[in-house]
């Protein structure tokens, strides 16, 4: 008996090894390195210079605009995704429709961005359509509109999925009960459906807002560098300036912001 | 356990067989030991017939590999495990590679054809006395513009871009040195200027250009200009000649205030196994007739003075790609400004990008 328990203990510890290794090598060590580099100035000496630099108007403005665009992208995604998810749970071939929404997210992001370069171009499909309906050619590419549009397009599947999941876990008898007690459709949605699926909304918001905060390829390809986010700045600092210290400092702030968002949106699930 | 052991054994044995197969295949094709030369060049940057000619003349088998960015090339050489005998980095990377001790000094006595190179392109700041590198191709930074979309505009200078008629018409390449250089040149300053006041002036001047700038993009600029997405682009002459062959309405000009002069040079990395063969190859590429044939194929500007005789007069007299001596005097090579100054350039460029329209 004793031997068996010890063995059990031993195997349990053995099973933890891959997990711990993973956490140490790919989570703790990189964050530690980022933190370490953030205290090095461009010549590699220890200093707080980078942190001082972050609190200048340039970087604060950049942080604000990153937040603004991430907020827009998340809000629009949510407004489109929630009704879509609701509709999906009511369709006959749920899995098929869901698959159709997920499939585009298997295609590489860059490929999709390049496709939009063609679609939104001056002589692209979108503009041909605008001309046919009499509006005439507009500049679509390299505008705020195209940037937000393409980002929403890319993030929408990630918003729909968690909402769809929590909607399908919702016990339909609760809705029936609400109806039986005389609640209107809107009241049922507001008082029953939405509160019970709030966790789906929260995780959808997380997986959209956090990556949207650090988008970088799209800012160049679709927005023509007219939108500068913290992600763009990090890319620049590492690849072009090769100022790893400043790049890391921006990354540290991004990590802190992300943790804060996680804390705000991740209120523990209470038992139902 | 037995199963796993057997599985491993099978993998080891089959790897051994494959290794043997590769080495015997290589020997049968002549890829063995001292008789090969590995050349590491940009994609589509040599006339492949010349490789065959070199192999025939010297009996050396050439293995040709390509890269698409200086940074990727340098990283691969730095990490080791490769045996490139000849590489073709751009001038600012050569400077970095010399500092990182990645290059072998050239033996000029083995490069008699070096005399063919135009003296203007020798002994430049990035490699004094050409100790480590010899020019392969060169070019400029300039303005590519669409004659069809701008029928009655003559563009000859950087300052022409500030014309209010060109609202939303300009695409810029996403490079701090190129864009800041344009600002500095338009004010009459050197594009290697490190005077903080001059740089601030240049940035302010660039801010005024913002209404005319449609976007700041990367390599897509070639596609966007060819598709007439904009009528003016700030590009390297190499890219310009490429897109001009795709769209005939496009023209290129080196602005009269001066601009950047860039080089791609041949070097021998520390990883070289066949240093003798590398010298032979470089000397072969410096041969006037060979350089002329290569220039015909690649379409960039050759630094080989003797090769000009074998090229079409139309090409040689094209001032867009072989600027007049007076203009050439105003062209400058990017100097290594040091990390601090480079960081300042990038910071100002970032602020310019963020300047509201």
Structure confidence at residue A265 (pLDDT): 79
**B220/A117 CB distance under 8 A:** yes
Please indicate, yes or no, if residue A110 is contained in any of the structural domains: yes
pLDDT digits (tens, 9 = 90+) for B18-46: 888 877 776 665 555 558 999 999 988 99
pLDDT number for residue B29: 58
Q: What is the pLDDT of residue B31?
A: 55
Check: CB of residue A216 under 8 Å from CB of residue A231: yes
**pLDDT for residue A13 is more than 70:** yes
B104 phi/psi in degrees, rounded to 5? -100, 130
Q: What is the ipTM, given to two decimal places?
A: 0.86
DSSP SS3 for A242 = coil
Per-residue pLDDT band for B154 (boundaries 50, 70, 90) equals confident
B168 vs A contacts (CB less than 8 Å)? 139
CB < 8 Å to B224, chain A: 117, 121
- CB < 8 Å to B72, chain A: none
Determine, yes or no, domain membership for B182.
yes
Asked if residue B335 is part of any domain, the answer here is yes
Answer whether B270's CB lies under 8 Å from B104's CB. Answer: yes
Q: Would you say residue B19 lies in a domain?
A: no
pLDDT band at B156 (very low <50, low <70, confident <90, very high): very high
For B353, the closest of A139, A228, A240 (CB atoms) is A228
How does pLDDT run across A167-223, given as a tens digit for each residue?
999 998 999 999 999 999 999 999 999 999 999 999 999 999 999 998 888 999 999
Two tokens at B25?
Answer: 């295949």
Q: What is the domain-level CATH number for residue B39?
A: 3.40.190.10
Closest CA relative to residue B282, chosen from B291, B273, B270, B271: B291
Residue B235 lies in a domain: yes
The pLDDT of B102-116, averaged and rounded, is 95
The answer to whether residue A171 neighbours chain B at the CB level (below 8 Å) is: no
Task: Examine the pLDDT at A268 and tell me if it is beyond 60.
Answer: no
Same domain, B154 and B241: yes
CATH code where residue A108 lies: 1.10.3720.10
Mean pLDDT of A155-177: 93
Does residue B212 share a domain with residue B160?
A: yes
pLDDT digits (tens, 9 = 90+) for B161-193: 999 999 999 999 998 999 999 999 999 999 999
pLDDT in tens, A220-253: 999 999 888 999 889 888 877 778 899 999 999 9
- Is residue A272 in some structural domain? no
Contact A224 B215 (CB under 8 A): yes
Assess whether B127 and B147 both reside in one domain.
Answer: no
- A190 within a domain of the structure (yes/no): yes
State the Cα–Cα distance between residues A42 and B14, nearest whole angstrom. Answer: 49
Cα B192 off chain centre by: 19
- B308 and B219 within one domain: no
A27, part of any domain: no
Q: What's the distance, CA A103 to chain centroid?
A: 18
Yes or no: say if A175 and A206 are a contact pair by the CB < 8 Å rule. no
For residue B245, what are the domain limits?
A: 139-261+323-354
The predicted structure's pLDDT at residue A271: 42
When divided into structural domains, chain A yields a total of 1
The pLDDT mean for chain A works out to 89
- B45 lies in a domain? yes
- B237, part of any domain: yes
Return d(Cα B221, Cα B171) in angstroms, integer: 7
Number of domains in chain B: 2
Closest CA to B169 of B225, B251, B219, B208: B225
* The predicted structure's pLDDT at residue A15: 87
pLDDT on residue B45: 92
Look at B357 and A246 and tell me if their CB atoms are within 8 Å. no
Q: Does some domain include residue A14?
A: no
Residue A237 lies in a domain: yes
Cross-chain CB nearest to B339 (options A43, A220, A223): A43
**Predicted confidence band at A272 (pLDDT cuts at 50, 70, 90)?**
very low
Antiparallel, parallel or unpaired: β B36-42 and B61-67: parallel
pLDDT band, residue B277 (cuts 50/70/90):
very high
**Residues B206-253: tens digit of each pLDDT:** 999 999 999 999 888 999 999 999 999 999 998 898 899 899 999 999
Task: Looking at the structure, tell me whether residues B43 and B174 fall in a common domain.
Answer: no
Structure-token pair, residue B163: 């014309």
Between B168, B174, B340, which is nearest A225 by CB?
B174
Can you give the residue range of the structural domain that contains A70?
A: 57-265
B330 and B231 co-located in one domain: yes
Q: Are residues B175 and B220 in the same domain?
A: yes
Contact B217 A242 (CB under 8 A): no
């Amino acid at each position: 008996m004793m031997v068996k328990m010890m063995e059990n203990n031993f195997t349990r510890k053995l099973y933890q090894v891959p997990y711990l290794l993973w956490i140490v090598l790919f989570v703790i060590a990189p964050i530690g390195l980022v933190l370490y580099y953030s205290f090095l100035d461009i010549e590699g000496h220890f200093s707080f210079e980078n942190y001082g630099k972050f609190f200048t108007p340039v970087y604060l403005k950049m942080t604000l605009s990153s937040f603004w665009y991430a907020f827009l992208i998340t809000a629009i995604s949510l407004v489109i995704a929630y009704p879509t998810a609701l509709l999906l749970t009511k369709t006959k071939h749920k899995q098929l429709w869901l698959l159709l929404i997920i499939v585009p997210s298997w295609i590489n992001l860059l490929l999709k961005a390049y496709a939009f370069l063609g679609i939104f171009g001056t002589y692209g499909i979108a503009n041909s359509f605008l001309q046919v309906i009499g509006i005439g050619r507009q500049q679509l590419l390299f505008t705020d509109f195209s940037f937000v549009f393409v980002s929403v397009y890319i993030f929408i599947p990630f918003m729909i999925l968690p909402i769809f999941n929590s909607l399908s876990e919702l016990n339909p008898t609760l809705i029936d009960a609400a109806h039986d007690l005389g609640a209107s459709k809107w009241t049922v949605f507001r008082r029953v459906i939405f509160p019970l699926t709030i966790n789906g909304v929260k995780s959808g918001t997380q997986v959209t807002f956090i990556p949207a905060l650090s988008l970088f390829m799209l800012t160049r390809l679709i927005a023509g560098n007219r939108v500068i986010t913290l992600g763009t700045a990090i890319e620049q600092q590492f690849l072009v300036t090769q100022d790893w210290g400043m790049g890391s400092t921006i990354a540290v702030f991004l990590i802190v912001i992300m943790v804060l968002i996680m804390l705000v949106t991740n209120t523990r699930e209470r038992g139902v | 356990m037995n199963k796993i052991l057997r599985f491993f054994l099978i993998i080891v044995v089959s790897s051994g067989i494959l290794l043997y197969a590769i080495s015997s295949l290589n020997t049968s094709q002549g890829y063995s030991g001292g008789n090969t030369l590995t050349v590491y060049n940009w994609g589509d940057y040599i006339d492949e017939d010349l490789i065959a000619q070199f192999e025939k003349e010297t009996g050396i088998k050439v293995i040709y590999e390509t890269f698409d960015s200086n940074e990727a090339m340098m990283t691969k050489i730095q990490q080791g495990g490769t045996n490139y005998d000849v590489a073709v980095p751009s001038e600012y990377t050569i400077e970095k590679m010399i500092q990182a001790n990645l290059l072998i000094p050239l033996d000029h006595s083995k490069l008699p054809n070096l005399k063919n190179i135009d003296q203007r392109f020798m002994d430049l700041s990035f490699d004094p006395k050409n100790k480590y590198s010899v020019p392969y191709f060169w070019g400029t930074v300039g303005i590519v513009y669409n004659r069809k979309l701008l029928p009655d505009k003559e563009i000859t200078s950087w300052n022409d871009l500030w014309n209010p008629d060109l609202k939303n018409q300009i695409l810029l390449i996403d490079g701090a040195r190129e864009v800041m250089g344009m600002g500095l040149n338009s004010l009459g300053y050197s594009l290697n200027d490190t005077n903080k006041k001059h740089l601030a002036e240049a940035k302010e001047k660039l801010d005024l250009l913002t209404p005319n700038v449609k976007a700041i993009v990367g390599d897509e600029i070639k596609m966007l200009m060819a598709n007439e997405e904009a009528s003016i682009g700030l590009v390297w002459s190499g890219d310009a000649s490429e897109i001009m062959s795709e769209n005939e309405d496009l023209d290129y000009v080196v602005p009269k205030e001066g601009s950047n002069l860039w080089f791609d040079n041949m070097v021998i990395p520390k990883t070289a196994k066949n240093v003798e063969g590398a010298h032979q190859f470089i000397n072969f590429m410096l041969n006037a007739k060979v350089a002329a044939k290569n220039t015909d194929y690649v379409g960039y500007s050759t630094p080989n003075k003797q090769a000009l005789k074998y090229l079409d007069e139309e090409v040689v007299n094209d001032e867009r790609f072989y600027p007049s001596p007076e203009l050439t005097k105003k062209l400058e090579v990017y100097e290594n400004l040091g990390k601090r100054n480079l960081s300042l350039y990038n910071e100002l460029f970032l602020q310019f990008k963020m300047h509201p329209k």
